[in-house]
Amino acid sequence: MEWIVPFILTVITASTPLLLAATGELVTEKSGVLNLGVEGMMLVGAIAGFAVTASSGSAILGILAAIVAGTLMSLIFAFLTLTLMANQVATGLALTIFGVGFSALVGSGFVGFAIDPLPALSIPGISAIPILGPILFGQDFLVYLSIAAVIGVGWFLAKSRAGLVLKAVGDSHHSAHAIGYSVIKIRYLATMFGGAMAGLGGAYLSLSYTPMWAENMTAGRGWIALALVVFATWRPGRLVAGAYMFGLISVMQLHAQGAGIHVPSQFMSMLPYLATVIVLVIISSDRAKIRLNAPACIGQAFRAAQ
């Protein structure tokens, strides 16, 4: 029992940045936009959040800076793909490459600095309950925000008029335009939301998970977040299970190395990404389910004149 609570807490912290970034990408893709630049947006959000927090001493300002940085990155992508109609796949890859280089440049002066992690929201009496107390009531507020974001997005897409309009744009942008909806405006807003959430996921990495800055500290988590959206078949409720499953795999490989299991460390390190590939292959084998849930116009450029 001594290791259960620390193990579960580690899984939660490993899963939270994935859940934040994947939630934003799900909304983006539901509008018909495929943004492969999640990794780059997370990195820029991570360095923006860390730099502002280290300079000002305020984690709140750092989190806001990460959200703004992720949103600005997404605006670059949106302008190129939605206004100039550049290829979304190529632009997303370029955005990731740009984010990797830009974050390394900005963060060169912050390498080696450490800050205090985000404080846990401790509730007197309740947080002291054995096992459940620290797990359910001893997290920092970004953990609760990640769960609230999934619930909010699920309600937004299923119950609100704006969410139904967004899904309509993703499924048939010409039909949505024909009945008077601004396809480009809606996709801009959805892409900005995705960027803000990716920036927030990056901020969690540099402010809570490992409260320091290191180049390329996302280590492929942006790509896993993209895979999570497909794993969840574009359904918000499944994102939580997917994110925590990948978080569990990541933590298990670390614990396996610490326990001295005689498996090459390189193999253990690749387990989360190997699991990603396997899951995508399994999901992709059911093409009927993919076609049923995937936005029909995802990745397609929209021209109002057509």
Q: Is 198 helix (H, G, I), strand (E, B) or coil?
A: helix
- Specify if 161 maps to a domain: yes
Determine the pLDDT at residue 146: 94
Determine the pLDDT at residue 79: 96
What's the predicted TM-score (pTM) here?
0.91
- Specify if 114 maps to a domain: yes
The mean pLDDT values, 10 residues at a time, for the chain of 306 residues are 79 93 96 95 96 93 97 97 94 96 93 86 71 79 94 95 94 92 95 97 94 90 91 88 86 69 69 76 69 82 72
Phi, psi angles (nearest 5°) of residue 294: -70, 140
Rounded Cα distance between 271 and 59, Å, is 32
Phi, psi angles (nearest 5°) of residue 34: -105, 105
> Residue 67: which domain range?
4-293
Cβ neighbours of 240 (radius 10 Å): 20
CATH number of residue 184's parent domain: 1.10.3470
Determine the pLDDT at residue 55: 92
CA 64 → CA 30, 183, 257, 264, distances in Å? Answer: 25, 28, 36, 40
Number of domains forming the structure of the chain: 1
Rounded Cα distance between 208 and 215, Å, is 16
Determine the pLDDT at residue 305: 57
Determine the pLDDT at residue 5: 81
The closest of 250, 205, 175, 184 to 41, measured between CA atoms, is: 205
- Specify if 233 maps to a domain: yes
- Specify if 163 maps to a domain: yes
Q: Which residue reads 């959200």 in tokens? A: 67
DSSP 206-248: IIIIS-B--TTTTTTHHHHHHHHHHHTTT-HHHHHHHHHHHHH
The closest of 290, 55, 76 to 198, measured between CA atoms, is: 76
Rounded Cα distance between 281 and 200, Å, is 29
